[in-house]
Amino acid sequence: MKILHDSQWRERAASPIAWHLAGFAALFLVVAFVAIRLGIDLATTHGRSTNALSSKQVELKLLDLEASPLRGLDKRVEESRVEMQAFYSKRIPPNYSSIATRIGELEITSKVRMSRVQYTQGPPGSDLTEISMDAGISGAYPEIMRFVNALERDQTFFVIREMALAGQQGGEVNLRLRVSTWMRPGDAAASGLPSTPESGQAAGPASASRQGGE
């Protein structure tokens, strides 16, 4: 076996090839370290990006759920406005005389008798003003029920506020009836009806019975 002396080792170590090999090894280690470090950083960055993306997706879904009731809101508002105008035109009387005329027609068809009929108007609202009718109703029980049912089902919007037994003789029943309907504020003001008295107050002379047209 050939034994290399120290001088020969030194000669080989000092040769350019040895230096090239040593440099290559050092460069390889540096590259390997940088590659490993870059891989770790990329993995960390990817994990953070994935978490951030998932968080944004959750936020977007929550915002979508919160906004869902508002979708088509403008269309629904317009539909409600159209329905309201249709309700006003079909069921809100244009003047006092149309209310009095319709009540008179229902009185005749149901065969009841009305007395002490008084019409008044409440405070004007932004859209409608309440019109109240206070009257005594006499007739047989079936006739009175026919009149009440006709009021509730009439195309003119009537609401029965109060119905109290005032007396009964034989087969005839006497009731006090208070009914409300509504008019547009301008139409109600033009009707000249007196103001509705506050609860518990009796109606004054100005609220006496009004029959016929305006």
> Residues 114-118: what's their mean pLDDT?
93
Q: Do residues 58 and 14 both lie within one domain?
A: yes
What pLDDT sits at residue 117? 93
Domain boundary among 65, 85, 110: 65
Position 4 confidence tier, pLDDT thresholds 50, 70, 90:
very low
Shared domain for 61 and 105, answered yes or no, is no
Q: Are residues 111 and 50 in the same domain?
A: no
Q: Could you tell me if residue 42 is inside a domain?
A: yes
In this predicted model, what pLDDT tens digit does every residue of 38-94 receive, in sequence order?
A: 666 666 665 566 666 667 776 777 777 777 766 776 777 777 777 888 888 889 999
Identify whether the C-beta of residue 194 lies closer than 8 Å to the C-beta of residue 121. yes
Residue 1 has pLDDT above 80, yes or no: no
Residue 23, domain extent: 6-65
Residues 49 and 127 in one domain: no
Whether residues 134 and 189 share a domain: the answer is yes
Tokens of 116: 């002490």
Tell whether 118 and 187 lie within a shared domain.
Answer: yes
In angstroms, the CA 18 to CA 152 distance is 112
- Specify whether 100 is located in the same domain as 181: yes
Q: 65-79, 113-127, 181-195: which has the minimum mean pLDDT? A: 65-79
Q: How far is CA 5 from the centre of its chain?
A: 100
Cα–Cα distance measured from residue 42 to residue 49, given in angstroms and rounded to the nearest whole number: 10
CA distance 30 to 173: 111
The answer on 101 and 57 residing in a single domain is: no
Helix 141-153, helix 96-110: angle, nearest 10: 140
Q: What is the CATH number of the domain that holds 107?
A: 3.30.70.60
User: Which DSSP state fits 70?
Assistant: G
41 and 129 in a single domain? The answer is no
Whole-prediction pTM: 0.60
% the chain with pLDDT above 70 = 64
132 — phi, psi (to 5°)? -110, 140
